[in-house]
Amino acid sequence: MALLELRTDITWARLAMSAYAVIIVSIKQCWFSVRGELFLATINIQRSHQLPLDEIKEKAEQLAQNLTRRIGGRYRWQGDTVHYTYTGVKARIDCDASNVLIDIKLNFVASVFRGTIEEEVRETLDKHLV
C-alpha cells in the first residue's frame, strides 16, 4: 500500500513540475525585453491617411508635446519617427506619406491600462486623421 501511495505522490509531483514548467515557459514567451526592461503588452495601430507628410509630423509633434505636458516623459525625433519614453512605457510614432504606425510597449504595471491607452490612441487618431 505504501509503495502505491509513493508512486502516486511521485506521479503528482511530476505532473506539478510539468505544469510549473509550462507556466514558466508561457510567462517567458509573454514577456520580452527592450534594452534591459521587461515589457508585457504591446499596442500596434496602423492608420492610412491623405494628409501631407509635414502635417502628419506636426500632429505627431503636438501629440508628443501634449503627452510630455500631461503625464511627463521625454520624446525625440529620429528621421520621420517620434520616440517617446516614460516609466514603464516606450512608444514610437512612424510617420510616412500614406500611413501612421503607432507602436507602444508597456511594462507589467502599465499593462493594466492597456485597454484605456489603446482606446485613447484610437480616438485621437480618428479625430486627427480625417
Query: Of the candidates 88, 97, 89, 102, which has an alpha carbon nearest to the alpha carbon of residue 60?
Result: 102
> Domain ranges in the chain?
1-30, 33-128
Cα 55–Cα 51–Cα 68 angle in degrees, nearest 5: 40
CATH node for 33-128: 3.30.310.50
pTM score, whole prediction:
0.70
**What is the reported pLDDT for 119?**
92
The SS3 call for residue 100 is strand
**What is the reported pLDDT for 19?**
42
* Separation between Cα atoms, residue 82 and residue 62, nearest integer Å: 11
**What is the reported pLDDT for 21?**
40
Over the chain (130 residues), what is each successive 10-residue block's mean pLDDT?
47 47 42 59 93 94 90 95 94 94 92 91 86
